[in-house]
């Protein structure tokens, strides 16, 4: 039995690659210096894996930006607009590569970057391949060869990793009409085959081809493409051992397709698709073949320690049927999605030894894989490695830090009426109209105002103890008052307090709720050089005390206008954290929903009449398989309703969404039953509104009238045009006027200019509607 790994984090345990690439982009270091850092990370990764006892170590899992972009460069799928950057010299390849990832803007050259989107259901983003009708592929980059040779010089014969040809095409986009990208397969395959042949001739024994598309709903065309691709590959390089890696879900209806492909080994994810195991093990063809089965038992996407008992049972069950020699042990997916090294978490006040003992980051997961490989087939019950592991698992199962009877009871006691406002929207709208006295086309913003260095400094100084709590609060209050006066002068109708006290919209709440912990170095790559440090939800979630009431009440006391309370919703908090694997996501979300509900009720008690609960991440929580959508959307919407429904009809509940296209879940958005939704639409020129119109969306809506992601100031005319467009499909009494997201990343001058134009446009619209009537 061999152990192997599918991929390792590549930014470096101290985010060395992030720092070096950003310096390179800023022109502060040269290419050699950047490549040197990259090489050091690769060497260290190989060394770490070797020392951890991993038998088959991957190469080409490293990337300077993204592995899908690497693939585009490997097969020469370089969009035409970058042609001027191709000059055949390999030393220019790096600049071409970064230009594709980030765009270039210098004298004489102005080329847009390629699009970026989420990698399956993770928070990692890849660069979307662009294809044209006459797409030609030819081998362009030597990266995979160079990395293989580099490792060989270190004495390691690696298992090169390539994104499989079918998933690669699936992840791309047609940039012109009149063809289907999967039809490009026959053009693409010769390039793959050429590379595989070269790797084989250089001594590669194993190649890992990633085809995570096998866990998706596939059309027949894609199924046939998989069969054809792997038949051709097998024929061309019959002696190269291909490990076909699937992950992020179960194979389901693609199972026999996957087990019948002519490859040497099949990898399945047992953390998100446990059921694939029994299915593969009852597949006669597979059992009777000589194929190996790679068991992804260690979760590559979460931070919890592996339960050795459970994994060893999986392994034993497999060995009993196909024999030890046909089994490989691995993480479920690439470890790219876990933080680097738990040993770097040294602050025991932040991460107590008890909680830390439940966790494993990438480096610790390697040890788990290798230990499981060693223990299997032995009499492990008394083995120290096994017993210590089981002690940790048991401690997590029973710890009172995690399990809070009252919280669990409260979730079980939720009743249908807890999801319902007192009256339906129609009745609420009439009451709110009377109580809130808002004008037609009310204006508002999404919550945050520019986070200047001064504001950031305030929070940092509080943490460092340079400011006392009192001094800090005084300074934040000053900022709030300034922003209130400023909003009043502009003539905004529903004000916000500005979120100056918040670092991040999830972290802020995580820090005030029980059941969350934070790491100091738990960085995970999000895209390119950007890394995030997700909070960890380890236990039952409770709200020990109000979290935002102090600031919202202060703000409302300092203005005669309405000031909106501002909260992050339960689904978004869940979605952007590492979550528990010992209870369904739904249960965790309901616990958070109850905590937010308490906050909403307390805000109402404190005199806040308009409360926004942001749910930008609701769309991205959708399961990969369509058949699972309904169930997810039901509980996600319920969790939101649970958080919102504790207030009287006259209290106006807002929600906000962005970062996704929402057309396909519009009925669920309506089911959330927020009185008002503010939503990102300006980049698509309000295209989304057609969906709202077709659906006959009943509640009030503020389609963002300008894109806050750019410093550009929109003109009054542009905004007016968009509002008029919106008015064609939304009844006038339901239309709000607002930007399309929070203003945190903007500077004050452009924010003021943009909002001034926005208010002018709203006023003009009111006048013209008044004249018409
Ligand atoms: N209220 C948050 C803000 O304004 C919303 C952020 C978001 O949607 N991502 O910053
Ligand atoms: Zn937003």
Cα-based distances in Å from 43 to 39, 60, 347: 6, 12, 28
654: annotated active-site residue: no
pLDDT band at 737; cut points 50, 70, 90: very high
Report percent pLDDT > 70 for the chain: 99
| Chain segment 162-190, per-residue pLDDT in tens | 999 999 999 999 999 999 999 999 999 99
Among 57-66, 91-100, 270-279, 532-541, the minimum mean pLDDT is found in 91-100
Give the contacts of 125 (CB within 8 A, at least 6 positions apart).
66, 116, 117, 118, 119, 526, 527
In a domain, 580, yes or no: yes
Site to substitute for ligand 1 among 614, 655, 678, 682, most atoms within 8 A of C-beta: 614
Q: What is the CATH number of the domain that holds 691?
A: 3.20.20.210
* Separation between Cα atoms, residue 495 and residue 584, nearest integer Å: 38
Beta-sheet pairing, 524-527 with 530-532? antiparallel
CA 658 to ligand 1: nearest atom: 8
Note whether residue 329 is domain-resident: no
Domain assignment of residue 454, yes or no = yes
Ligand 1 pocket member 362 (CB < 6 A):
no
- Supply the residue whose CA is at minimum distance from atom 6 of ligand 1: 742
Confidence of residue 84 (pLDDT cuts 50, 70, 90): confident
Domain count, the chain: 1
Neighbours of ion ligand 2 (CB under 5 A): 616, 658, 741
Measured by CA distance, the residue closest to atom 5 of ligand 1 is 742
Asked if residue 500 is part of any domain, the answer here is: yes
Ligand 1 pocket test, candidate residues 526, 569, 656, 674, most atoms within 8 A of CB = 656
In a domain, 204, yes or no: no
Residue 686, pLDDT > 90, answer: no
DSSP per residue, 413-481: T--GGGG--SS-HHHHHHHHHHHH---SS-BB--SB----HHHHHHHHHHHHTSS-HHHHHHHHHHHHH
Give yes or no for a contact between 274 and 299, defined as CB atoms under 8 angstroms apart. Answer: no
Spatial separation of the C-alpha atoms in residues 548 and 600, rounded to whole Å? 10
pLDDT (mean) for 466-493: 98
Mean pLDDT along residues 232-256: 98
Domain that holds residue 457: 405-772
pLDDT at 687: 76
Q: Is 133 within a domain?
A: no
In this structure, of 262-271, 317-326, 718-727, the range with the lowest mean pLDDT score is 718-727
Cα–Cα separations (whole angstroms), residue 262 to 226, 246, 704: 11, 15, 51
pLDDT confidence tier of residue 90, bands split at 50, 70 and 90: low
Q: In terms of Cα–Cα distance, which of 708, 737, 713 is closest to 725?
A: 737
User: Which of ligand 1's atoms lies nearest the C-alpha of 656?
Assistant: 8
pLDDT band at 444 (very low <50, low <70, confident <90, very high): very high
Quote the mean pLDDT of the chain.
96
Query: Relative to the CA of 612, which ligand 1 atom is closest?
Result: 1
Is residue 738 in a domain? yes
Residue 104 has pLDDT above 90, yes or no: no
| Count of beta carbons in the 10 Å neighbourhood of residue 470 | 8
Global confidence as pTM: 0.94
Mean pLDDT (whole number) for 499-503: 96
* Total Cβ atoms within 10 A of residue 462: 18
423 inside domain: yes
Q: What is the DSSP string of 352-374?
A: -HHHHTTB--HHHHHHHHHHHHH
Residue 685 has pLDDT above 90, yes or no: no
At 608-620, the pLDDT tens digits run 999 999 999 999 9
């Amino acid at each position: 039995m061999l152990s192997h790994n599918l991929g390792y984090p590549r930014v470096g345990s101290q985010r060395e690659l992030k720092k070096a690439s950003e310096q390179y982009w800023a022109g502060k270091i040269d290419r050699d210096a950047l490549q040197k850092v990259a090489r050091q990370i690769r060497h260290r990764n190989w060394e770490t894996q070797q020392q951890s006892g991993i038998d088959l170590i991957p190469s080409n899992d490293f990337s300077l930006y993204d592995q899908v972009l690497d693939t585009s460069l490997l097969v020469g799928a370089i969009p035409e607009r970058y042609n001027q950057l191709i000059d055949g010299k390999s030393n220019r390849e790096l600049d071409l590569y970064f230009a594709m990832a980030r765009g270039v803007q210098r004298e004489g050259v102005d080329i847009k970057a390629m699009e970026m989107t989420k990698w399956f259901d993770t928070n990692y983003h890849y660069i979307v391949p662009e294809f044209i009708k006459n797409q030609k592929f030819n081998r362009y980059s030597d990266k995979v060869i160079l990395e293989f040779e580099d490792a060989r010089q270190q004495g390691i014969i690696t298992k090169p990793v390539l994104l499989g040809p079918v998933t690669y095409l699936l992840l791309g986009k047609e940039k012109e009409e009149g063809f289907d990208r999967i039809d490009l397969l026959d053009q693409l395959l010769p390039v793959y085959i050429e590379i595989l042949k070269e790797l084989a001739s250089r001594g590669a024994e194993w190649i890992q081809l990633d085809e995570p598309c096998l866990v998706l709903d596939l059309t027949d065309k894609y199924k046939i493409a998989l069969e054809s691709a792997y038949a051709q590959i097998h024929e061309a390089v019959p002696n190269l051992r291909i490990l076909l890696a699937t992950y992020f879900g179960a194979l389901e209806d693609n199972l026999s397709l996957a087990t019948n492909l002519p490859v040497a080994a099949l990898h399945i994810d047992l953390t998100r698709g446990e059921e694939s195991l029994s299915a593969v093990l009852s597949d006669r063809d597979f059992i009777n073949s000589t194929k190996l089965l790679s068991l992804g038992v260690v979760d590559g996407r979460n931070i919890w320690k592996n339960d050795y008992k459970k994994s060893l049972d999986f392994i034993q069950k497999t060995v009993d049927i196909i024999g030890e020699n046909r089994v490989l042990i691995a993480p479920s997916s690439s470890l790219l999605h876990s933080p680097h090294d738990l040993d770097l978490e040294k602050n025991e006040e932040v991460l107590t030894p008890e909680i830390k003992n439940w966790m494993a980051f990438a480096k610790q997961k390697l040890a788990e894989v290798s230990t499981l490989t060693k223990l299997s087939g032995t009499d492990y019950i008394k083995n120290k490695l096994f017993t210590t592991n089981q002690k940790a698992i048991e401690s997590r199962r029973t710890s009172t830090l995690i399990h809070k009877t009252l919280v669990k009871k409260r979730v079980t006691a939720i009743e249908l009426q807890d999801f319902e406002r007192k009256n339906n929207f129609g009745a609420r709208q009439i009451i709110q109209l009377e109580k809130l006295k808002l004008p037609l086309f009310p204006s508002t913003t999404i919550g945050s105002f520019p986070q200047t260095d001064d504001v950031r400094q305030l929070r940092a100084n509080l943490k460092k103890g340079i400011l006392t709590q009192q001094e800090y609060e005084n300074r934040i209050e000053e900022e709030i008052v300034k922003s209130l006066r400023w909003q009043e002068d502009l003539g905004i109708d529903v004000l916000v307090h500005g979120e100056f006290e918040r670092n991040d919209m999830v972290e802020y709440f995580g820090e005030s709720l029980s059941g969350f912990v934070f790491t100091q170095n738990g960085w995970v790559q999000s895209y390119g050089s950007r890394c995030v440090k997700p909070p960890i939800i380890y236990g039952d979630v409770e709200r020990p005390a109000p979290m935002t009431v102090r600031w919202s009440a202060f703000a409302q006391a300092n203005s005669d206008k309405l000031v909106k309370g501002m909260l992050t919703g339960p689904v978004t908090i869940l979605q952007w954290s590492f979550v528990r694997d010992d209870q369904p996501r739904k249960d965790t979300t309901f616990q958070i929903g109850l905590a937010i509900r308490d906050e909403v009720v307390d805000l109402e008690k404190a005199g806040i009449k308009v409360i926004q609960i942001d749910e930008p991440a609701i769309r991205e929580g959708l399961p990969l398989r369509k058949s699972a959508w309904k169930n997810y959307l039901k509980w996600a919407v319920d969790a939101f309703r649970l958080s919102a429904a504790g207030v009287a009809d006259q209290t106006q509940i807002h929600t906000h969404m962005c970062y996704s296209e929402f057309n396909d879940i519009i009925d669920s958005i309506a089911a959330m039953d927020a009185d008002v939704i503010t939503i990102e639409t300006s980049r698509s020129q309000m295209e989304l509104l057609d969906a709202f119109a077709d659906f006959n969306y009943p509640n009030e809506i503020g389609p963002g009238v300008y894109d806050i992601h750019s410093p550009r100031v929109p003109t009054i005319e542009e905004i007016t045009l968009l509002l008029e467009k919106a008015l064609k499909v939304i009844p006038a009494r339901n239309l709000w006027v607002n930007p399309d997201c929070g203003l945190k990343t903007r500077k004050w001058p452009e924010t003021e200019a943009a909002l001034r134009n926005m208010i002018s446009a709203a006023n003009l619209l009111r006048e013209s509607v008044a004249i018409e009537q």
